[in-house]
Chains A and B, each alone.
Chain A
Amino acid sequence: MQSPTPGAPQGAPTDTRVHALDHLRALAMLMGVVFHAALAYSPLVQPIWPGADRQNWWGVDAAIWLPHLIRMPLFFLVAGFFTAWLLAQRGGAGLARQRVRRILLPFLLAWPLVHVATSFSTQWAMQYVDHPAPLLVLFRQLMAMPDPPSLPLSTGHLWFLYYLLLFSLLLWGARSLDWDRFLGKWLDAGPAVVSLSLPLLLWPGFMLTGAPHPAPEGLLPQFWAMLIYGPFFALGLGLHGRLHWLAPLQRCFWPGVLLCLGLYALFLLRLAEGATLTSTPWWWAAIEALIAGWGSLLALLAGLRWMQHANALMRYLAASSYWTYLWHLPILLTLQYLLMDHNWAWPLKFALCLSATLAICLLSYEWLVRRTALRRYVG
C-alpha cells in the first residue's frame, strides 16, 4: 500500500514508527486471509459461508472472533494515520490523486474481476460438489426455481476500499467546513479521555448491526459501518504527529491485554447462545465496542513496540499485502470448493488452502506487480 518503502518519495520520514504502522496494516490484511480461510470450519457461519466444510470445530469460533473484532478497526486506524501523513506531504490535491490511483482505480478494476471469478467458481461448486455447504444448497434450490431472484450487487470483501473512499470524501468535506479542529480537541484531551470515549463512540454502531458484525458489503453506505470504522479512521488521522501521545498507554499494555481477553470470554459466552442478525442487545454491543476499541489500541501499541525494526521478509509481506488481499477471496473459495469432497482432517485442509492462496498471491505479485507498472497502483 502507500507506504514509505525503499524508493519512497523524498521527504518520507525514516521514522521507524511509521514503518511499524505500515507493517501493522499488512498484518491486519494478512490476518484477513487467515480469517476467511478459517471461516470454512466455523460452526457459527456454516449456514452462510459458501466454502463451509462438513467438518467444523467450536475451537475455531473461540479463536477467530477476537481478531475479527480488531483487524478491520486496526486497518482503518492505520489508514487514517497514513491519510494524514499523505495530506501533510502532498496537500489536498495530492491526496486526491493518490486516492484515485491506489484505491479508486484498483477498486473499479478488481471488483468486477473478483465478482466474476467468485460467481464462476461458486456456480461450478453448486453443480459439481457432492458435499456442498448449506449456502450452496440454498443457491441450488433458488436457481432451480422458475424465476430465480437475482442477487443484489455487493462490494464483497472489497468493501474496505469503498469505505476508505467514503471516509476520504468525508474528510474532504469536514476539512472544507473547518470541522477538523474538533478532532484536535478530542485528542488533546489526552490518552485517558480518548481511550475511554472511543468505545462509547463505537457502541451505537455495534448496536445497529448483528453480532458478530458482518462485512458492510452493500453498495449503499451503512450507518453502522461508518459509526464503527469512522472513529478509528479519525483517531488515526489525529495520531499523525502525535504518536508520542501513545507513550503513557504503554504502562497499561499487559493489564489491557488481560482485560480484553476477559471481555472476550464474556463475548464468547453470549455467542454460544447464537448470533444476532440485524441488531444487538446493548450490553453485548458494549462488550464488542470495548474489545474493538481497546484491542485496536493495544495492537497499535504492540506494533509500535515490536515491529519497528524491519526485516526483509516483513517489508516484502508489507509491500505485497494489498495485492494479496485484493485477490485472495476468489482463490481461497475455489480451493475450499475443491477440497470440500475430500475427507482429510480439517486442519490439513485449512493449512493447504491458506498456504496455496498465499503462494498464488505472492507468486502473482512477484511476476505481475513487483517489477512492473502495476506497482504504482497495487504494489
Chain B
Amino acid sequence: MSQELNMPLIRLLVVKDWQLFQKQLAALVLAGIVALALLGLAKPWSFYLGSLLLIVVLVAAACFAIGTSLLTERKEQTLAFVMSLPVSPLDMTVSKLAGNLITFGVPFLVLLLGTLLVILGTPLPDGLLTMAILLFGHVLLAYCLSLTVAMQVESEGWNLFVMITSMVLINPFIMLLGQIDSIREPARGNDIVWSTPALAILAAQILLSLAALGYILWRHRRRAAFY
C-alpha cells in the first residue's frame, strides 16, 4: 500500500515538536555552554566537571527528546489530537523520526564537534579522538535503540528501562575499550590510530543504529491505520 508523504504537514508536526521541546533544549544548550567553559578553564577539576556535564547534557538530550515527543504525548493523550489531523500513520512516523533526530541530533553533533575541537585544539593527546568517537557512537546507538522501542512499545516503564540501561552501559563500554590494546595504547599519544577493532566497533554502532531506524520505517510503512 504505497502512501505519499504529506510533506507540508510533516514539517508542521516537526516544528510543533520542536516548539514543545524548546524550553528543555534551551536549558540543555546553556548547560552545554557552561560545560565547554569549564573545559576552557583548563584546570584538572574543571576538566573533570566539564566533561561530566557534557555527558549529562548528551544523555539528557536523548531522554528528553524521546520523552517529550513520544512518551509524554501518549501519557497526556495529545496523540489522539494529532491523529485527528489530516495525517496518515506513515506521516506521523516520519515526523516523529525526523523531529527526534533533529532535536537530539543538533546537540549531539554540536557536542561531538566541540569534543573533537577540544581534543585537537588543546594540549590533550590527539590519540583520544578514537575513544571519543567510539563513545559518541555508543550514545548514538543507545539513542536509536531507545527511539525504536519508544515508537513500538507504549509502556513507559519499558521505555525508561531501555533508555537507562543503554546509557548506563557507557561505563562498561569504556572499560571494554580500555581492555583492547590497539585502542588503549594510542590514546596516550598524539597520533590518531584507527585499528581494526576500533573500526569494527564503529561500523557495528553505525550499522545497528541505521538498522534500528530502518526497522521503525519498515514496521510503520505497512500500517494502514493507527489502531
Contact = CB atoms under 8 A, between A and B. Distances in A.
Tell me, yes or no, whether A and B come into direct contact in the complex with CB atoms closer than 8 A: yes
A221 interface: yes
Nearest to B50: A220
Interface string A49-68: 00000000000000000000
Given A220-B39, A222-B40, A223-B41, A152 B23 contact: no
Dominant secondary structure of chain B at its interface with chain A: helix
A193 interface: no
Contact of B40 (A153, A174, A221): A221
Interface stretch (A165-173, A236-244, A348-356): A165-173
B180 interface: no
A220 B120 contact: no
B23 A166 contact: no
B121 A170 contact: no
A219 interface: yes
Query: Size range of the interface on A?
Result: 10 to 19
B118 A176 contact: no
Given A153-B117, A170-B30, A176 B37 contact: no
Nearest to B121: A153
Interface in A311-362: none
Given A169-B33, A170-B33, A177-B26, A219 B121 contact: yes
A153 B120 contact: yes
Contacts of A169: 29, 33
A218 interface: yes
Contact of B27 (A152, A173, A220, A221): A173
Interface in A221-255: 221-223, 226
B123 interface: yes
A153 B117 CA distance: 9
A217 to B, nearest CB: 11
Nearest to A147: B190
Contacts of B22: 176
B111 interface: no
Contacts of A220: 36-37, 39-40, 114, 117-118, 122
A152 B36 contact: no
A218 B38 CA distance: 13
Contacts, number: 52
B118 A221 contact: no
B25 interface: yes
- From B27, B30, B39, B120, residue with most partner A Cβ within 10 Å: B30
Contacts of A173: 26-27, 29-30
Contacts of B120: 153
B30 A218 contact: no
B37 A223 contact: yes
A248 B25 CA distance: 40
Interface in A172-190: 172-177
Contacts of A221: 33, 36-37, 40
Contact of A222 (B23, B26, B37, B122): B37
B40 A218 contact: yes
Contact of A177 (B27, B33, B40): B27
A177 B121 CA distance: 32
Given A173-B26, A177-B23, A152 B121 contact: yes
A153 B120 CA distance: 8
Contacts of B39: 220
B26 A172 contact: yes
A219 B40 CA distance: 8
B27 to A, nearest CB: 6
A152 B33 contact: no
A176 B26 contact: yes
Contacts of A170: 30, 33
18 contacts: A152-B121, A152-B123, A153-B120, A166-B33, A169-B33, A172-B29, A173-B26, A173-B27, A173-B29, A176-B22, A176-B25, A176-B26, A219-B118, A220-B114, A220-B118, A220-B122, A221-B40, A226-B37
| Closest 6 pairs between A and B when the two form their complex, measured CB to CB | A220-B40, A176-B26, A153-B121, A173-B26, A221-B37, A173-B30
Given A153-B117, A220-B36, A220-B118, 7 more contacts: A152-B121, A169-B29, A173-B27, A176-B25, A220-B40, A220-B117, A226-B37
Interface of B: 22-23, 25-27, 29-30, 33, 36-37, 39-41, 114, 117-118, 120-123
Interface of A: 152-153, 166, 169-170, 172-177, 218-223, 226
